[in-house]
C-alpha cells in the first residue's frame, strides 16, 4: 500500500530531525554516526531520506 502525501511529509520531517540531531552531536558524516549507534548505514540512509 503506497504512503499518503501526509505520511511522506512526516517521514521527511523525521529524516530532517535525525540529520539535525546527528550534526548537533558533532558527527560530520552519517557513516560514523550509524556505526557508533549500531545502525546499518543503509538503514540510517533510508531513515534520513524518509523511506522507512
Each residue's pLDDT tens digit, 17-34: 988 999 999 999 888 999
Residue 41 lies in a domain: yes
Contacts 24+ apart (CB under 8 A), 14-18: 14/47, 14/50, 15/47, 15/48, 15/49, 15/50, 18/44, 18/47, 18/48
The count of structural domains within the chain is 1
The answer to whether position 7 is within a domain reads no
Whole-model pTM?
0.71
Within a domain: 5: no
Position 46 in a domain: yes
**In sequence order, what are the residues at sequence separation of 6 or more whose Cβ sits closer than 8 angstroms to the Cβ of residue 15?**
47, 48, 49, 50
Say if 11 falls within a structural domain.
no
- How far apart, in Å, do the first and last CA atoms of the chain sit? 14
User: Residue 31 sits in which domain range?
Assistant: 27-52
Q: Is residue 4 part of a domain?
A: no
Task: Taking residues 8-14, report their average pLDDT.
Answer: 88
Amino acid at each position: 500500500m503506497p504512503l499518503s502525501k501526509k505520511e511522506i511529509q512526516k517521514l521527511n520531517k523525521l529524516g530532517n530531525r535525525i540529520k539535525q540531531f546527528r550534526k548537533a552531536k558533532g558527527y560530520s558524516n552519517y557513516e560514523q554516526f550509524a556505526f557508533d549507534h549500531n545502525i546499518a548505514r543503509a538503514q540510517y540512509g533510508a531513515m534520513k531520506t524518509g523511506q522507512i
